[in-house]
A = this chain, B = another copy of it.
Amino acid sequence: MAYINQYTSKLDQLNFKNMFEGDFFLTWEKTFDEILATFTVADALRWLRENNVSTRIFDSGLGVSLFRDNSTRTRFSFGSACNLLGLEVQDLDEGKSQIAHGETVRETANMISFMADVIGIRDDMYIGKGNTYMREVARAVREGFVDGNLEQCPTLVNLQCDIDHPTQTMADMNHIIHYFGGIDKLRGKKVAMTWAYSPSYGKPLSVPQGVIGLMTRFGMEVHLAHPKGYEVMPEVEEVAGKNARLSGGKFTKSNSMKDAFEGADIVYPKSWAPFAAMEKRTGLYGDGDFDGIKKLEKELLAQNAGFKDWECTEELMKTTRDGKALYLHCLPADISGVSCKEGEVAASVFDRYRVPLYKQASHKPYIIAAMIFLSKIKCPQETLANSVSRGLPRCFR
């Protein structure tokens, strides 16, 4: 009981009442207090589980997932988060479903939600589509709830869209906070969010965008580096700039991996596709121009190949703060000589950071659970304290 206080007393200092009955689309739509509340609840749930205390808040209920792109990490993280809270996952596999040609989003959303407490969606393939789709689903189920068709209104959790990947970057950020020992230790730290070479094509922009949109809120210097032509969405750069000004940090940019790594405390080298090309691709897709898409893919691979020196090598790592920057990756990484001939990161660098990388990933289930928790529970402090006092173990060993 004494120990759960460390979390509930933090929550007492924060204003997050608007998260109740809300959704989670983009981190920059949340106040700083709401972001901190999410980390605090994630940590509390983790502490409870580590101490074999049941964290179920649902006796029954469904967590609906929709993955429009392959997924292991996020799929298992979402499944774990739902299970942790007592929800059973029901996957909407569009291939096995009778979703009629022209069926409205509103209809599908209602049909899957009669007993859904959360809907998690990954839809990151086309610029301008994924996030829009999620908001349409969220609006539809809210209407369904108001109309009395749904007993409860499921909360929408963005499991990666064309703009942001909040469950990933919130996990990344919580990892950083734990690694450096608290938010107050982050002021002035330098984060290098840099492009890196990969032989594959068209990786989503949601991670670099999400990182610059979130990490600029902690008073750090976030440096975005990429070759010319690999720009991210201008709107998100604006968000990052504004965040940095408000938090007393910096948002800087360059076309040099070297500049980014120089003196960095944290490095996040990762491949992504150029925003402009992805926009073009969405247009081609809309026109059904598949030959055009193939041609574009070829061009992009050729363009990528011009930047094979954008690799996170031992040499580059030596230029970071004391040669010991924290290396981050959302995984899986393209490891040179392991998963590909030439890739994002040297095998020896990756191997040295394997344990912290897995630790980084381990935050994701708790971040997702915290997002659900905060949207469903009106008085989280009380519910967390009750979890301890009711004395129900997770495993009756």
Contacts and interface: CB of A to CB of B under 8 A. Distances in A.
B365 A115 contact: yes
A15 interface: no
B100 A339 contact: yes
A72 B112 contact: yes
B56 A101 contact: no
Contacts of A117: 395
A396 B56 contact: yes
Interface of A: 46, 49-50, 54-62, 64, 67, 69-73, 75-77, 79-80, 83-86, 88-90, 92, 96-104, 106-108, 110-112, 114-115, 117, 144, 147-152, 331-335, 338-340, 354-355, 358-359, 361-362, 364-365, 376-378, 383, 386, 392-397
Contacts of A85: 60
Contacts of A152: 395
A56 B257 CA distance: 53
Nearest to A369: B115
9 contacts: A59-B396, A60-B86, A69-B98, A72-B92, A72-B97, A79-B90, A101-B339, A107-B358, A110-B361
A98 B125 CA distance: 14
B111 A361 contact: yes
Copies in the complex: 3
Contacts of A386: 396
Contacts of A108: 72
A61 B90 contact: no
A108 to B, nearest CB: 7
B83 A340 contact: no
A381 to B, nearest CB: 13
Contact of A338 (B76, B102, B151, B340): B102
A67 B96 contact: yes
A299 B394 CA distance: 54
Residue from the set A46, A395, A397 with the largest chain B CB neighbour count within 10 Å: A395
Nearest to A380: B397
A-B CB proximity, top 4 nearest = A102-B339, A100-B332, A80-B115, A72-B97
A378 B397 CA distance: 7
Given A97-B72, A102-B339, A393 B59 contact: yes
A98 B72 contact: yes
B101 A73 contact: no
